[in-house]
Structure 1
Amino acid sequence: MNRPARPLAAVLTASAALLLTACGSGGDDDSSSDKIKGADGGGGKTSASPSAPASSDGIKRPEITLSSAFRADFKNWTNSDPKLQVILNDGREQLRAKYAAVIDSEPNSEALTFYSSEATQVSARKWINQFVDDDDSIIGKVTAFNPKVLISDNGSGILFYCVDERQASTKNRKTGKIVKTPDKPESVLQYRTRLDKTSQGVWKTTSVNVAAGGCSR
């Protein structure tokens, strides 16, 4: 699934750059070098393509459904701090919204708008439209793992995580042609994101940078 490796929005705050240094580039959840103050690697649970999380804050979030031919697994996507868990939840749903938009050929999806700022909506739609223009969908499985999350001094959420795309492929809707993602380190991506809380309480993704080969697996 080569196209996900192309960068989306490329600007990160200084605090995000500091988090990158703290996290390192390794994907080993048990590595002491990956432990950072204020971040919790989670409890080892895996959720396979969940629907919109049950909300205890009264916010009506859009339901995101992925096709049976595609699965997004999120490993260790839990945090002992409830405030950080909400950032993880909304960051996860923003990524799932992009996958769903590709599968549905709907770059203007409600979920994408709900979880993305205006700037990241533009960059995400450019990425989604690459699939739409080629009449491609995505199949197989991606695994998001090793999330690192904190709240910066200015109140923004900083979320880094890895996505292994080596078991995913593109499939042309007309011809049925399948193109597999190369089984290379470059197919394990590091997402470096910033999220900001809206007045409604939603953590919208406001900055995204994707580094191909930024994680080991």
Structure 2
Amino acid sequence: MARNTLSTTAATFTATAALLLTACGGGSGDSSQDDINGTETGAARPSASESPSPSTRPGIDRPVIKLPSSFQLTFEDWKSSDAKQQAVLDDAREELRAGYAAITADDPDSESVAFYDTGSGRSQSKKWIKSYTDKSVTVVGKLPVFDPKVSLLDDGSTASLGYCTDESEAYTKHRETGETEGNPEYMDPHVYYQVTLRKSSQGVWQNDTVRSERGGCAK
């Protein structure tokens, strides 16, 4: 399920195969949580059925993103007492929700994803989404997203976000046969992500690059 992985020999970010189709995005990256020097966020964890509400910052007409009940994408401790960090968290959350909504809707050209991505980020996201849609699979089950750490850079228009996911109860489902597949037993279900975001002229924090490291965090 890992979105993008950076192998130890790769020079650029690459989109991985879809969850559980051959390799499950388990490339090793050169990133670590120590690279994220922001303040750790913290709040009460939502229930599995709770849906995050979209950002309500004024003046921005945001897309409405809906996920099917068959795939529960939950964001745990996704809060910060710092308003600027919270704005980054809000938009990063909606970008991830938009990506999985595009997979479940079989829509690699999703306008909602494009809204939350820069040009280069959009290219990465489309490759990731097509790694599912080209193979006629979707995602089902549960995917917790947790332990976010945000750092705002000095220019005020660039941010770094690290977070973890737990794929233990996430699966792919073949659209034609209905067959579901889970991670191999030997594969670590925890994946660490490092995202670079850039603030658009509209004030939207957009994903610019994403890389991941399987086994880079634990829950």
Shorter-normalised TM range: 0.7 to 0.9
- Distance change in 2, residues 1:114/1:183 (3 Å): farther
State which of 177, 186, 190 in structure 1 corresponds to 2:179: 177
Per-residue deviation, 1:186: 2.7
- Distance change in 2, residues 1:127/1:54 (3 Å): closer
Q: Measure, in 2, the Cα distance between the counterparts of 1:98 and 1:207.
A: 14
Match of 1:10 in 2: 13
Match of 1:27 in 2: none
Match of 1:212 in 2: 214
**Contact 1:148-1:159 within 8 A present in 2 as well:** yes
Match of 1:168 in 2: 170
Query: After the TM superposition, which parts of structure 1 deviate over 6 Å for at least 4 consecutive aligned residues?
Result: none
More helix by share: 1
SS where residue 162 of structure 1 aligns? Answer: strand
Q: How many residues align?
A: 197
Gaps of 5+ in 1: 12-16, 24-35
State which of 200, 203, 206 in structure 2 corresponds to 1:201: 203
- Distance change in 2, residues 1:205/1:54 (3 Å): closer
Per-residue deviation, 1:45: 2.8
Q: CA RMSD in A?
A: 2.3
- Distance change in 2, residues 1:192/1:22 (3 Å): closer
Match of 1:43 in 2: 43
Q: Measure, in 2, the Cα distance between the counterparts of 1:6 and 1:149.
A: 19
Gaps of 5+ in 2: 7-11, 15-29
Match of 2:33 in 1: 20
SS where residue 112 of structure 2 aligns? Answer: helix
With normalisation by structure 2, the TM-score equals 0.82
**Contact 2:152-2:160 within 8 A present in 1 as well:** yes
**Contact 1:163-1:189 within 8 A present in 2 as well:** yes
SS where residue 100 of structure 2 aligns? Answer: helix
Q: Measure, in 2, the Cα distance between the counterparts of 1:180 and 1:18.
A: 26
Comparing 55-64 with 160-169, which one deviates more in the overlay? 55-64
**Contact 2:4-2:211 within 8 A present in 1 as well:** no
Question: What does 1:140-155 correspond to in 2, within 5 Å?
Answer: 140-155=141-156
SS where residue 46 of structure 1 aligns? Answer: coil
Percent sequence identity is 36
Q: Measure, in 2, the Cα distance between the counterparts of 1:10 and 1:161.
A: 18
Q: Measure, in 2, the Cα distance between the counterparts of 1:94 and 1:205.
A: 7
